[in-house]
Structure 1
């Protein structure tokens, strides 16, 4: 026998707008707030648990799966910023989590009314639909710059309309925004497989297949019920399967990146080996060229030494022979030959004893040159003055000493050959700041320095410049009638 219940709204007395319901146990009734199940608790509890799982439990499990994928993609993007596909995927999935999470709310959020929540949900859904396109395109390594800028502009405009729209037009705007977002998502599910196939990437093709075979059918069903406001969705049931497929896609994407890195490393290793071989070959050729240059420089240096040393001795000997009015006797000829032998020995010593220690003081160092030229200058009535310090104030390399000797010999030889001088002044000074200064001055007829250099006639001057450049010393020469001055300076460490 059915029981009769009386449902009386609050604030009304008996008999006023009273609603009578005949209750039949274990029967389902439909009212304005949904289905009503009435029966014994033992019968209702299993039904309640099934409905709770269907309405809330499945969505909770879905959000857990989605959250795991979001965190995984976000971490990959943080550690590899160049993998922008994972960054956009994490943003897209996080927006979907927020959008679905509203169905689990039992109470409204603080300070937010129903209209504000509807605006927020609409904006989140639009962002989700757009970012689903971006992450899919990035998985295929595609970027449509101009089109994306246009879509961003339209999205910002739509969000502003949703925020600023009056409430009397809000319901129409929310429906329109849902249709736009849903259409964007579905069009992407249809078009992305084509983009993925053209990209020839396995991970993109797999994602495209999942979109067309899973997301698109589920989207049609869930989109219809979401538009009606019903929470019966099929996509949560597919989440475990799509999660496995997405993990495989992630693994393929990372594996492909690692393959590119390994291929780059292998190519780099091969390139380094080839470059090393080319470098060794180049070093070998460079070494051969250096040997040839060294031999050539030695020959040039030997030619300069012969010119400055032995050549100067020959000039002195010729000058002595010319000055002699009588025939030379045996001892005189032998003396000249000994001088030539000594000069030749000095040339040999210069080439083989560059690591030798210089003499104990400048006077002893220049004594052989003074001896040879003073005898000749006496015969030629040339007065020579030597101004030399009694000791070294700082260390001078033996190679520098030989270079200075050659400069002095060449300068004095030129005095004998060309200057017609009657006085010669030679000075060697050591400044307290570590500068060596060598002066050679004569009162000869002088010469045009520029003309001689342009004509290339002075082998001696070129030899002096070459020697001074080799030891990094400064060389200056000035000449006029009655005064020709040669100055050499070099800075040494004190």
Structure 2
């Protein structure tokens, strides 16, 4: 059989960075190894207890199309038999004749043929009972297929019975006939089921799991590209699927010969070894470009040599590169185990126990391949279950670890959120206190501004009157002056103490107009007003008060600084705009030098203009000064 096809599956390691408890991992690996030993021991035990004595002879035919064995040349052999040592270099047909004695009272008997390599035809007492599809190249690959028959009369007969097996094979792949067992139907049926489980069913299951694993880890890699170990493990799974397919393939299709099939199979093993090297490095978070490049170079040389070597030298080349691929996988297993033992924090520690089991099965299968162990059973495909168990446990451990981290993160997040909420509450409380303080300061500033613009202006006017003609003021005039100051103070208190809603601007402007006119007239200044379009104009109380204070401050500046004889005041509504203008014929002032500075009066004017969202215009020269305000009205 083509032993070179069944080298170690050491690439089933899980490519996820997590660590398992060492005791649990070793226990799981030991359990899997024991299961493999039980599977290996069961067929041998059944064969030892059930096989009767058989007389076996063999003779090689003269051509691939022989339909009957030669009459001479038979030689006794022992099963299992490989004719490569007896007839070196022989490719073709070998006939095996098995004879045994049946008693007069023939009973039903079970016949089990463990395997034949590669294709064959079986007949009992001259009656064909089995034949493979192709007995010439491309040969049917029946080397790993057990066969069971229930023999009963008339197939069996008293006395000598002859089982004739025609085997078509190639000496390069250890062609020959495996063990043949006769016994009770129940015993042979049980042994057949055991053989089929090991040789076929578990192999199929292993390949199905490989396919699922490759798809799963490929998806993980696509979702997390930076986790390159996932991608390499997916590639390993695909390569192992192709390599392990040899276990169940019954034809060398799409090739016309088994030689091409063998070249493909070993090429896949070499590339698998390279991907296994890179996976192990990525799993440990390392990169070794020189080692990776050397492994790739060896694989490329091996693949080219396998496909270009002549058939006459194929056996030697196949053996060399099969051993190279197998030893590469064993070396990776061994190095990974050593690395895990030396580095306690290495993620490889979670896979080391399972890699140890894989290394043992790898070594066993290489010994079978080199015929140091006389066996036909390979365990690398079945050992993949142990490795998959390790991967599953590694994934579970990583999931639990991540879940714990998430839970801890949630706890820490809740604590941090609570702390942040407490800090935010303290900050908000502090900010609220600052806002209250700022509001109080703002109220005080507004109050001071209002006192300055209104009451201050009236005080200035009253003082100016008293300074000019104090001897001409009578008691009623002085009382009237004090009443005007009282009325202005009341206006400030009413405006800042309550909000009765919007009022017509003309209604609010009338008292200011009356008082300012009297004050200016008393100081020898002719004040003329022009008011239009504001009788029905209603503004919010804050805007109305700002407008009145703006006019008060402008008129106060005229009284205090202009030394004028006439002032013209205009308050008019023009479409969606309110225009205010105060023009005097006084001495004027330098507008360019004031900027944002100037006296308290000018600063107050600018502040109120900004508060109203209006445009302030200042023009001044000797003999004419104008303060104008243009305020857009809400639609």
- The CA deviation string for residues 165-205 of structure 1, in whole angstroms up to 9 with x for no partner, is 69444858876665554444333212323544576559742
- Higher relative helix content: 1
SS, match of residue 448 in structure 1 = coil
Aligned 1:228-307 pairs, distance under 5 A: 232-307=377-452
Select 1:101's aligned residue among 229, 241, 245. Answer: 245
SS, match of residue 445 in structure 1 = coil
- The CA deviation string for residues 407-449 of structure 1, in whole angstroms up to 9 with x for no partner, is 11011000011012233233334443x3433333323222124
- Counterpart of 1:45 in structure 2 is 112
Pair 1:174–1:445, CA change in 2 (3 A): farther
- Counterpart of 1:22 in structure 2 is 74
1:411 aligns with 2:554: yes
1:128 aligns with 2:195: no
Pair 1:380–1:199, CA change in 2 (3 A): farther
1:351 aligns with 2:496: yes
Pair 1:320–1:30, CA change in 2 (3 A): closer
SS, match of residue 425 in structure 1 = strand
Q: Report deviation, 1:338.
A: 0.6
- The alignment covers a number of residue pairs equal to 483
TM-score scaled by length of structure 2:
0.65
1:459 aligns with 2:459: no
Q: Report deviation, 1:348.
A: 1.0
Q: Distance in 1 between matches of 2:618 and 2:263?
A: 93
Structure 1 unaligned residues grouped into runs of 5+? none
Q: Report deviation, 1:275.
A: 0.9
> Which one has more relative contact order, counting CA pairs under 8 Å at least 6 apart?
2
SS, match of residue 529 in structure 2 = strand
Pair 1:13–1:76, CA change in 2 (3 A): closer
- Counterpart of 1:318 in structure 2 is 463
- Counterpart of 2:632 in structure 1 is 491
Pair 1:219–1:357, CA change in 2 (3 A): same
Pair 1:332–1:122, CA change in 2 (3 A): farther
The answer to whether the 8 A contact 2:506-2:536 is kept is no
- Counterpart of 2:565 in structure 1 is 422
Q: Distance in 2 between matches of 1:233 and 1:61?
A: 15
The answer to whether the 8 A contact 2:61-2:70 is kept is yes
The answer to whether the 8 A contact 1:358-1:365 is kept is no
Q: Report deviation, 1:347.
A: 1.2
1:473 aligns with 2:619: no
TM-score scaled by length of structure 1:
0.82
Q: Distance in 1 between matches of 2:56 and 2:511?
A: 146
- Counterpart of 2:585 in structure 1 is 443
Q: Distance in 1 between matches of 2:57 and 2:267?
A: 49
The answer to whether the 8 A contact 2:56-2:98 is kept is no
The answer to whether the 8 A contact 1:25-1:39 is kept is no
Pair 1:11–1:380, CA change in 2 (3 A): closer
Q: Report deviation, 1:322.
A: 3.4
Select 1:207's aligned residue among 315, 334, 351. Answer: 351
Structure 2 unaligned residues grouped into runs of 5+? 1-54, 85-90, 100-107, 115-145, 148-191
1:31 aligns with 2:175: no
Aligned 1:109-148 pairs, distance under 5 A: 109-110=253-254, 117-118=261-262, 120-137=264-281, 142-145=284-287, 147=288
- Counterpart of 1:61 in structure 2 is 205
- The CA deviation string for residues 196-237 of structure 1, in whole angstroms up to 9 with x for no partner, is 4576559742312221x2122222222454578996422234
Moved more, 238-247 or 225-234: 225-234
Moved more, 197-206 or 456-465: 197-206
Q: Report deviation, 1:463.
A: 2.0
Q: Report deviation, 1:116.
A: 5.6
Pair 1:491–1:326, CA change in 2 (3 A): same
Aligned 1:360-371 pairs, distance under 5 A: 360=504, 362-371=505-514
Q: Distance in 2 between matches of 1:427 and 1:108?
A: 109
The answer to whether the 8 A contact 1:203-1:253 is kept is no
The answer to whether the 8 A contact 2:572-2:578 is kept is yes
SS, match of residue 45 in structure 1 = strand
SS, match of residue 316 in structure 1 = helix
SS, match of residue 247 in structure 2 = helix
Pair 1:65–1:319, CA change in 2 (3 A): same
Pair 1:113–1:44, CA change in 2 (3 A): same
Pair 1:398–1:69, CA change in 2 (3 A): same
Q: Distance in 2 between matches of 1:381 and 1:9?
A: 146
Pair 1:339–1:179, CA change in 2 (3 A): farther
Q: Distance in 1 between matches of 2:492 and 2:345?
A: 77
SS, match of residue 472 in structure 2 = coil
The answer to whether the 8 A contact 1:443-1:482 is kept is yes
